[in-house]
């Protein structure tokens, strides 16, 4: 991916976009400040103007490699774009974790910018990259940064030491980490149930799912988009039943809404089901197979789609309810 292919991330007040060569003067003015650099582990001080140019160029290379996403945090002053700071995710090699880091120019402190930018990028990373968790650290006496990390949903996981380049020493830090359950919205309690539960029993939610199978025997998976519970996980298309709907009716509706295809009930073959304790409720999910539909499959909700060979299904991170279905589907196909 090059910088032109990366779609800027937006919040209520900010835009997170790849850095540009013309950002270097403003970046240098903001970060060449001891009150900023003293809290950052990997930044030298003084910070030269040439170093700003070199670092911006390096961010383009790492974005293209898919190893790090270092972005400018920009706001608007009327019609003028203003650089506020930077935020980044760096993938940890050979794991499904990434490190979150950020800095904000001193003149913009105290306005909630750090949490707004860091939270947005962390949630985007979990939804769009093959990650299961985000981790970070804050210098022990940097209560402001620790507060930001807690505010976006990271949990304190312990203590450690990190080399701080500008200070020339290893210093004590507080470690933080969080996954989807920490940084994204929780699964809401269902509004409609299969039956009214008895007192003290968990409500039961009925969800229908469909394994669409193409002529090559591949199965379609959809990635839950940012903003939904369990964002970033891959699942079989489908959704909750509306009141009065049968599973077949729900799938016909959901496949039209999510993928833009028309499916008839006669083409939906019941295959198996999942029964899963989701914490606050119990999930029952019948899985149907479908090999025939009308129309071209389109990601109408902005979700990523993947056609996957049955033997490769287990390589995709899925919600707990979908995982038990994979072995059955693989053996059948």
Claim to verify: residue 250 and residue 139 sit in the same structural domain: no
Residue list, annotated binding site: 224, 235-238, 258
Sign of CA dihedral 318, 321, 326, 332: negative
Domain span holding position 179: 3-183
Residue 194 falls inside a structural domain: no
* Residue whose tokens read 């080399």: 163
Domain stop point among 183, 213, 237: 183
Claim to verify: residue 163 and residue 296 sit in the same structural domain: no
CA distance 115 to 126: 16
Claim to verify: residue 30 and residue 125 sit in the same structural domain: yes
Phi, psi at residue 31, to the nearest 5°? Answer: -90, -20
Distance between the two ends of the chain, CA-based, in angstroms?
A: 34
Are residues 137 and 115 in contact, defined by beta-carbon separation less than 8 angstroms? no
Claim to verify: residue 208 and residue 150 sit in the same structural domain: no
Domain stop point among 151, 183, 215: 183
CATH code for position 327: 3.90.79.10
* pTM > 0.75: yes
Residue list, annotated binding site for Mg(2+): 238, 258
Q: Which two tokens stand for residue 313?
A: 């299904």
- Give the CA distances from residue 89 to residues 62, 83, 155, 233, in Å, rounded to whole numbers and listed in that order: 11, 18, 17, 19
Claim to verify: residue 71 and residue 172 sit in the same structural domain: yes
Domain count within the chain: 2
Q: Which two tokens stand for residue 83?
A: 């650089």
Residue 319 falls inside a structural domain: yes
Are residues 36 and 103 in contact, defined by beta-carbon separation less than 8 angstroms? yes
Note down pLDDT in tens along the chain; length 333 residues: 666 688 999 999 999 999 999 999 999 999 999 999 999 999 999 999 999 999 999 999 999 999 999 999 999 888 889 999 999 999 999 999 999 999 999 999 988 999 999 999 999 999 999 999 999 999 999 999 999 999 999 999 999 999 999 999 999 999 999 998 888 765 555 554 444 556 667 788 899 999 999 999 999 999 998 888 888 999 999 999 988 899 999 999 999 999 999 999 999 999 999 998 887 788 899 999 999 999 999 999 889 999 999 999 999 999 888 888 998 988 888
Residue 292 falls inside a structural domain: yes
Burial class (CB in 10 A: 0-12, 13-18, 19+), 221: buried
Claim to verify: residue 160 and residue 227 sit in the same structural domain: no
Domain stop point among 183, 213, 230: 183
Residue 197 falls inside a structural domain: no
Q: Residue 245: beta bridge partners?
A: none
CATH code for position 68: 3.40.630.30
Residue 199 falls inside a structural domain: no
Residue 54 falls inside a structural domain: yes
Claim to verify: residue 162 and residue 296 sit in the same structural domain: no
Q: Is the peptide bond before 46 cis (omega within 30 degrees of 0)?
A: yes
Alpha helix (H) residue ranges in the chain: 24-31, 34-37, 49-65, 113-128, 143-151, 180-183, 247-259, 323-332
Residue 21 falls inside a structural domain: yes
Residue list, annotated binding site for 8-oxo-dGTP: 224, 235-238
Claim to verify: residue 161 and residue 288 sit in the same structural domain: no
* Residue whose tokens read 């900023």: 36
């Amino acid at each position: 991916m090059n910088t032109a292919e990366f779609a800027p991330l937006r919040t209520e007040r900010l835009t997170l976009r790849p850095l540009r060569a013309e950002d270097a003067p403003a970046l240098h003015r903001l970060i060449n400040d001891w009150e900023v650099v003293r809290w950052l582990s990997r930044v030298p001080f003084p910070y030269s103007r040439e170093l700003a140019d070199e670092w911006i160029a390096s961010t383009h290379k790492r974005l293209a490699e898919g190893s790090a996403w270092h972005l400018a945090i920009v706001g608007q002053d009327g019609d003028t774009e203003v650089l506020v700071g930077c935020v980044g995710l760096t993938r940890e090699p050979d794991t499904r974790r990434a490190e979150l880091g950020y800095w904000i120019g001193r003149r913009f402190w105290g306005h909630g910018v750090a949490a707004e930018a860091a939270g947005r990028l962390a949630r985007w990373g979990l939804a769009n990259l093959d990650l299961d968790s985000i981790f970070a650290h804050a210098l022990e006496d940097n209560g402001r940064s620790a507060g930001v990390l807690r505010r976006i949903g990271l949990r304190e996981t312990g203590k450690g030491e990190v080399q701080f380049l500008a200070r020339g020493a290893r210093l004590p830090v507080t470690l933080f980490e969080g996954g989807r359950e920490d940084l994204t919205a929780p699964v809401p309690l269902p509004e409609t149930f299969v039956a009214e539960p008895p007192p003290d029993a968990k409500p039961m939610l009925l969800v229908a799912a469909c394994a669409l199978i193409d002529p090559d025997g591949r199965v379609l998976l959809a990635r839950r988009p940012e903003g939904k519970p369990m964002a970033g996980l891959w699942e079989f298309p489908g959704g909750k039943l509306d009141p009065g709907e049968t599973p077949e009716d729900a799938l016909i509706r959901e496949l039209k809404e999510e993928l833009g295809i028309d499916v008839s009930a006669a083409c939906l073959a019941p295959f198996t089901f999942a029964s899963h304790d989701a914490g606050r409720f119990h999930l029952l999910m019948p899985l149907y197979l479908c090999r025939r539909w009308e129309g071209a499959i389109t990601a109408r909700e902005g979700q990523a789609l993947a056609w996957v060979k049955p033997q490769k299904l287990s390589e995709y991170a899925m919600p707990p309810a979908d995982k038990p279905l994979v072995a059955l589907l693989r053996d059948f196909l």
